[in-house]
A and B are shown apart, each in its own frame.
Chain A
Amino acid sequence: MAQDTPKPEGKKRRTRRPGVAPPPETPPPPLHVFRWDLDKTYLKSDFDTFRDLWRSAFEKAEAKQAIPGAAALVRECRKLERARVTFISGSPEQMRKVLTRKLELDGVEFDEFILKANLKNLLRGRFRALREQVGYKLPALLADRVRCAAQTHEVCFGDDAEADAFVYSLYADLLAGNVGLGVLEEILGLARVYEDDAARTLKLAGEIERSPAVDRIFIHLDRRSPSARFHKYGRRLVPVFNYLQAGLVLIDDDLLPAGAGVTIAREMMEKFEYTELALRNSVEDLLRRGRIGRHTIELFAVACETDELLAPLAPRLRTIDAISAAPPNDEPIDYVAAFAQDARRERKKPPPKEDGWRESEE
């Protein structure tokens, strides 16, 4: 397990032998960074009622459940050369121990685990900060980016319950130089971010080295939100119903090997009782939405043939004959309008029913 918080430089023990070149002061920057949100992205979390929130806060690590395939996907990502995995969660810092334990139980290693200082916010009377996402996540992402080189590529994972699609896209476009500081200031104002947080965010955004670093943003459709809602964020952002879909997109991007898809699918079948049909439909859905090519399905099918459990899936994959639609256009994102639109939707949102079903939202 990697460290969850970086140790201060001064406290490190240094052992040097004469004649041996000193070790480098800092490790080389990562080649790939995988940024994960926690609740509803990695972990199954139910915060819809106060009772759920209370239960979640006191739940043991052993009782917490990961989203099907999430742990396998993180492990596959971390296998890549100089890969860095970070978690940024809105959960309070007091939950660090139990959450770290949960990741340990799942065999998931990480490099950074950022939690929200909710108690501090509460004591300081900063009640807006308890729920607010932009003023918390954006500076956290920017601050962690300092460790990376311009060539470091990133993949972000979030969900449809909060503002992940907005925050990750804004972060990606700030890095790419597509969004100016003026627009950022306007957004921070609209989000009613506290002045000191806003100033820090603007400072970090001003200092960061510009590069088109974020290759993909995955939004786990935990609420099964209509995927069309995310079209405005362009083709970089892919709404996914499960993590086999995310894995396949990364295989299509030549980032992960086809075997990674097998590992993810295997976990989904073994631990979460996924059927071959559900996996097949997930693959078909991606093809129909124009998010992967047929060659990726064939690569995955070939990889499945080598696995006893997944071998029967291979012929099913080869029956997929869906027609691909064009993925969303990559037009410049109007972040001010997008923020207002998302905020309006949040206000209108009715409480979810017991079975999680609501009328179509669009």
Chain B
Amino acid sequence: MPSSIVTIAVDAMGGDHAPEEVVKGVAAVSLEASNVQILLVGDSRQLTHLLAAHRHDAERIAVHHAPDRVGMDEKPREAIDAKPNCSVLVAARLVAEGQADALVSAGNTGASVLACARTWQRIPGVRRTALASVYPTELRRGEKDDPFSLILDVGATNEVDAEDLVGFALMGSAYAARISRNPRPRVALLSNGTEALKGPESIVEAHRLLKTHTTLNFIGNIEGVDIPKGAADVVVCSGFVGNVVLKMLEGVSETVVRLARYAYKEKLMWRMGLMMLSGGIKQLKEVTDWEQYGGAPLLGFNQLFIKAHGRSRARAITNAIKVAAKAAQAGLAREIEEGLKTFAERRAAA
């Protein structure tokens, strides 16, 4: 057995298809990843029953009982207040106590972020946390030839100021460097124009701060159209803007697939054309398949949280756990802290 084993706490009851698909994903990862131990948090009896139905390795899975769960449509604050023993809060607590190295949940995003906020500490220097998401682009980057760019924030903090955006840039750059093994990720601000003075005040000021007080590979502002082109490796924006952008990009991908299906049914010629293109379409589908991304990291806390998509099925859960394990081993929090410290020192010196 390998020595560097990481333990990932998994909220078994969170998500549209929980707990069945979560357990299935956990069962699969227990057979695949020898360096990962799983701490499955949820209704113990139900989880035991589900585990028995799937091939898994019991030596790599522990179950921690949590009697309650937060529904996907519940109001986060009210739900967390009313259910102190809900699975996501218990799982976050276990990470805080050191019983696990990271948390994965496909459940209610607001409740998950709140659970982390109530049990974890922010990294010194972090004012606001950010949820980051990856998006496939035309370009390949880093040691791993990674096609993904990182967009943050995509929903943790709706309203931000310039300093928050700088914090996001530092955190996103650290994540891309560690996880995508891209030593000098290109960082950009998302705006309505590439000029330094374009956009709202927070963007203009953030541009100035990034340019003058950080050692990041800051390439300036980019527009929405540049995201799929891969113009930047890390795209920085407010949670509100990021969430809208991400949902729109997802919607475009799904619409393209639907249009292809429509064309396939409509005309024989179109069908033949699509059949000829099937290899390429399959590759495109693989690249744009969110299930393989492994979820979005919540950056800024001293512990790591990977938010899997609410619609996650087993494969997405498996990949989210693998990403969490990788990030937990990478010592991300320390790198973010150092980046923020350097920024503060340079700013003070100026």
Contact = CB atoms under 8 A, between A and B. Distances in A.
Contact of A277 (B27, B37, B48, B56): B37
Interface in B1-53: 1, 5, 7, 24, 27-28, 31-32, 37, 44-45, 48-49, 52-53
Contacts of A223: 55
B55 A323 contact: no
B44 to A, nearest CB: 4
B261 interface: no
Given A288-B48, A325-B45, A360-B27, A226 B60 contact: no
Contacts of B28: 357
Given A226-B54, A357-B32, A325 B60 contact: no
B68 to A, nearest CB: 15
User: Most chain-B CB neighbours within 10 Å: which of A281, A322, A356, A362?
Assistant: A281
A235 to B, nearest CB: 14
B31 to A, nearest CB: 5
A358 B59 contact: no
B338 interface: no
B289 interface: no
Contacts, number: 78
A285 B58 contact: yes
Contacts of B1: 273-275, 278
A323 B42 CA distance: 11
Given A278-B1, A323-B44, A355-B32, A362 B37 contact: no
Contact of B5 (A275, A284, A322): A275
The bracket for how many chain A residues form the interface is 20 to 34
Contacts of A322: 44, 48, 63, 65
A356 B37 CA distance: 18
A357 B314 CA distance: 14
Contact of A281 (B24, B48, B59): B59
A318 B7 CA distance: 19
A241 B63 contact: no
Q: Which 10 A-B pairs have the closest CB atoms?
A: A285-B58, A228-B52, A278-B59, A323-B44, A360-B54, A288-B48, A357-B31, A241-B58, A224-B55, A227-B52
Given A285-B61, A325-B45, A362-B53, 9 more contacts: A241-B57, A277-B7, A280-B62, A281-B61, A285-B59, A321-B65, A322-B63, A325-B48, A357-B55
8 contacts: A224-B31, A226-B54, A322-B65, A323-B65, A357-B55, A360-B24, A360-B54, A360-B55
Interface of B: 1, 5, 7, 24, 27-28, 31-32, 37, 44-45, 48-49, 52-63, 65
